[in-house]
């Protein structure tokens, strides 16, 4: 899809569908509605009145213009109440315009930036670009026949007013940034949406090597023997029940030039390419979407490519400990005591709490082998986090409150929902073991928190943030710019945090 920014007369925009975002408070009085209504001899406001359309958030109202203006169809998109508006809402609005154009077999679409109150900014334009591109995302690799056929939108115009004409060059740069973010998010979605039989640990390693080649990164891929030499007893135990060999992926981006990097940051992603639960076998309905359990690794591998293209002045490492958690005669067992890379021993009381084991070794590797200034991990870690926060919000924990707040601020700017959760010291007792340094799960209540407390054991004094993306990593239905399936969640925040706007 080609994206462009134009200063256009709204009545002359030559597109199949022209999107007009409007707020609840004063739909008919919106300047864009007024301008088009005049050209249509009052038909637009009459339709709004007849349909009793109020501009509720996410609602739309379509009107065929019959050639009376440049656009074939108009699509009013509700933004809800102005007081509740967040810039990220424009992603969903732009996505709805693209979907409407696809439904109408149109090849072009346009989006009129809301007028007034300084809403046309580089950030809002970026969100529109992301929404347009992600709204057109479709994972149809395995579809055949008519279901595979689609009419993708080829050109998408972002229309701004005369007052913004002097800033068009900056707005165009914002569109380019939106394209980079959307491409990384879409790549992460592709990886998550692949069947587990296709996206195996070895295939993940191949993808990482391809990303490294494309973006000028260093790539280190470790197999089971190399991991055994490093003492990754937890990571290897999780993968030993599968016929698919585990792969430990380490990608590195270093800024070019003689100026030292501002800091060194590690992004660790959980990489369970399929989670059956191991011998603590999940029921069938809970196992059905467990190809999603590598969403954290998909996110960090995809994000580092975009960060390299942006030339961020930060040294960035992406780590993914990839394996399958499968039941077999070789599987690790309940009651086993595993020795981690940092020497701690862990008693296993649930083989379906495997992500924290792989992450524990990955985090210690990051701390000792890379010695970062900051470390972040991203994992579809606990159903308990979904119970606490619902399906759209990630839980955030960490050992450095300042770092946690800076991360959450980046999430707010990126338009991704995250919430700070505590790690109460009293819950550490739940992880006590009679025969090892600790066990891998605590009690039912506070499960997301004890998972974070477990991971904290492996980061030492390094400033660290844990992001539990179990809910928002995938969607069970379409919503705005988010389609059903993998969402690419957290990629946008990683980019916002490490490549903030100047």
pLDDT in tens, 306-322: 999 999 999 999 999 99
pLDDT band at 352 (very low <50, low <70, confident <90, very high): very high
Q: What are 237's two structure tokens?
A: 């135990």
Range of the domain at 105: 2-161
Count of domains observed in the chain: 2
Please indicate, yes or no, whether residues 145 and 191 belong to a single structural domain of this protein: no
- Is residue 79's pLDDT more than 90? yes
Please indicate, yes or no, whether residues 108 and 7 belong to a single structural domain of this protein: yes
Please indicate, yes or no, whether residues 18 and 66 belong to a single structural domain of this protein: yes
End of a domain among 126, 161, 196? 161
Cβ(325)–Cβ(277) below 8 Å: yes
3 state SS of 125: helix
- What pLDDT, in 10s, does the model give residues 81-103? 999 999 999 999 999 999 999 99
Please indicate, yes or no, whether residues 372 and 298 belong to a single structural domain of this protein: yes
Please indicate, yes or no, whether residues 336 and 215 belong to a single structural domain of this protein: yes
Spatial distance between the Cα atoms of 297 and 362, rounded to a whole number of angstroms: 12
- What pLDDT, in 10s, does the model give residues 100-111? 999 999 999 999
Residue 409 belongs to a domain: yes
Please indicate, yes or no, whether residues 191 and 79 belong to a single structural domain of this protein: no
End of a domain among 131, 161, 191? 161
Residue 204 belongs to a domain: yes
- CATH number, domain at 20? 3.40.220.10
pLDDT band at 146 (very low <50, low <70, confident <90, very high): confident
Please indicate, yes or no, whether residues 272 and 417 belong to a single structural domain of this protein: yes
Please indicate, yes or no, whether residues 342 and 451 belong to a single structural domain of this protein: yes
Q: What is the pLDDT of residue 161?
A: 87
Please state, in angstroms and as integers, the Cα–Cα distance from residue 54 to each residue in 33, 130, 298, 484, following that order.
Answer: 13, 26, 40, 27
Cβ partners under 8 Å of residue 229, min gap 6:
none
Active centre residues (catalytic): 282, 356
* Percentage of the chain exceeding pLDDT 70: 99
Cβ(251)–Cβ(361) below 8 Å: no
3 state SS of 10: helix
Q: Of the candidates 26, 27, 187, 14, which has an alpha carbon nearest to the alpha carbon of residue 108?
A: 14
For 412-439, what is the mean pLDDT?
97
**Global pTM exceeds 0.85:** yes
For 382-386, what is the mean pLDDT?
97
pLDDT band at 502 (very low <50, low <70, confident <90, very high): low
Using a 10 angstrom Cβ sphere, with 0-12 exposed, 13-18 middle and 19 or more buried, the burial of residue 105 is exposed
Q: Of the candidates 366, 188, 356, which has an alpha carbon nearest to the alpha carbon of residue 265?
A: 366
Please indicate, yes or no, whether residues 99 and 222 belong to a single structural domain of this protein: no
pLDDT band at 207 (very low <50, low <70, confident <90, very high): very high
Q: What is the pLDDT of residue 163?
A: 81
- What pLDDT, in 10s, does the model give residues 280-292? 999 999 999 999 9
Residue 448 belongs to a domain: yes
Please indicate, yes or no, whether residues 236 and 291 belong to a single structural domain of this protein: yes
Residue 169 belongs to a domain: no
Residue 171 belongs to a domain: no
């Amino acid at each position: 899809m080609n994206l462009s920014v134009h200063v256009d007369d709204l009545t002359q925009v030559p597109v199949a569908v022209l999107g007009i975002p409007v707020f609840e408070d004063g739909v008919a009085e919106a300047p864009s509605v007024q301008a088009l209504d005049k050209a249509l001899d009052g038909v637009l406001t009459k339709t709004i009145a007849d349909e009793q359309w109020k501009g509720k958030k996410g609602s739309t109202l379509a009107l065929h213009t019959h050639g009376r203006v440049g656009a074939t169809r108009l699509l009013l998109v509700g933004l809800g109440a102005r007081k509740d508006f967040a810039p990220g809402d424009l992603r969903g609005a732009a996505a709805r315009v693209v979907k409407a154009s696809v439904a109408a077999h149109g090849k072009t679409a346009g989006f009129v930036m809301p007028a007034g109150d300084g809403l046309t900014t580089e950030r809002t334009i970026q969100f529109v670009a992301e929404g347009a591109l992600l709204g057109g995302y479709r994972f149809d690799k395995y579809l055949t026949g008519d279901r595979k056929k689609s009419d993708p939108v080829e050109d998408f115009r972002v229309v701004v007013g005369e007052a913004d004409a002097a800033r068009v060059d900056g707005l165009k740069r914002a569109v380019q940034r939106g394209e980079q973010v959307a491409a990384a998010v879409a790549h992460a979605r592709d990886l998550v949406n692949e069947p587990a039989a296709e996206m195996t640990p070895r295939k993940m390693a191949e993808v990482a090597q391809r990303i490294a080649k494309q973006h000028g990164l260093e790539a280190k891929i470790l197999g089971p023997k190399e991991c055994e030499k490093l003492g990754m007893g937890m990571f290897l135990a999780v993968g030993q029940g599968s016929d698919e060999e585990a792969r430990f992926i380490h990608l590195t981006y270093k800024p070019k030039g003689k100026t030292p990097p501002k800091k060194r940051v590690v992004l660790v992603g959980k990489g369970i390419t399929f989670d059956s639960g191991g011998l603590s076998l999940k029921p069938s309905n809970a196992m059905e979407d467990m190809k999603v359990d590598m969403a954290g690794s998909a996110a960090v591998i995809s994000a580092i490519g975009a960060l390299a293209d942006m030339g961020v002045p930060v040294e960035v490492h992406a780590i993914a400990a990839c394996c399958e958690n499968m039941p077999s005669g070789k599987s690790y067992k309940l009651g086993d005591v595993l020795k981690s890379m940092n020497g701690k021993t862990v008693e296993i009381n649930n083989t379906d709490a495997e992500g924290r084991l792989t992450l524990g070794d990955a985090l210690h590797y990051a701390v000792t082998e890379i010695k970062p200034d900051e470390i972040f991990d991203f994992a579809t870690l606990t159903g308990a986090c979904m119970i606490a926060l619902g399906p759209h919000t990630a839980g955030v924990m960490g050992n450095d409150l300042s770092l946690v707040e800076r991360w959450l601020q980046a999430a707010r700017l990126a338009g991704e929902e995250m919430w700070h959760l505590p790690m109460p010291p009293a819950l550490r007792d739940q992880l006590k073991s009679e025969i090892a340094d600790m066990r891998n799960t605590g009690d039912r209540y506070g499960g997301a928190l004890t998972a974070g407390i477990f991971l904290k054991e492996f980061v030492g004094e390094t400033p660290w943030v844990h992001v539990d993306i179990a809910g928002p990593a995938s969607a069970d239905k379409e919503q705005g710019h988010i389609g059903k399936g993998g969402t690419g969640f957290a990629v946008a925040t990683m980019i916002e945090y490490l490549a903030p706007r100047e």
